Amino acid sequence: MSIAVLSGSFTSTGQSDSTVVKGCFNLSLSGFGSATVVVERSFDRGSTWVSVESFSADAQRVGVEPENTVMYRLNCTAYSSGTINYRISK
């Protein structure tokens, strides 16, 4: 199963769209001024979300999701400055 590329930017608080992730995936965050972005995942098709990791500076990560229908999104929980560009991809 492949995932759609999820990309965009934050210039205020809020959530990104979500995507289903399976296997290895890439996470890229860049352009931080002063903000906090939390990676979240859902096991119930988006009804509830749990925090995976929080970032307050540029980051590049490779993740692995072993389950089939787990959704991921990004949540900008605090924002003061910058344009935070994000990308989750296979």
Contact 7, 73 (CB under 8 A): no
Please name the fold of domain 6-89: Jelly Rolls (2.60.120)
Condensed to tens digits (0 to 9), the pLDDT of residues 8-29 reads: 999 999 999 999 999 999 999 9
> What does the pLDDT look like over 30-40, one tens digit per residue?
999 999 999 99
Rounded CA-CA distance 7/76 in Å is 14
Tens-place pLDDT, residues 41-70: 999 999 999 999 999 999 999 999 999 999
SS3 79: strand
DSSP 32-45: EEEEEEEEEEESST
Give the mean pLDDT of 71-86.
Answer: 97
Residue 2 in this model has a pLDDT that exceeds 60: no
Q: What is the dihedral of CA 12, 48, 30, 11, to 10 degrees?
A: -10
Does the predicted model carry a pTM greater than 0.95?
Answer: no
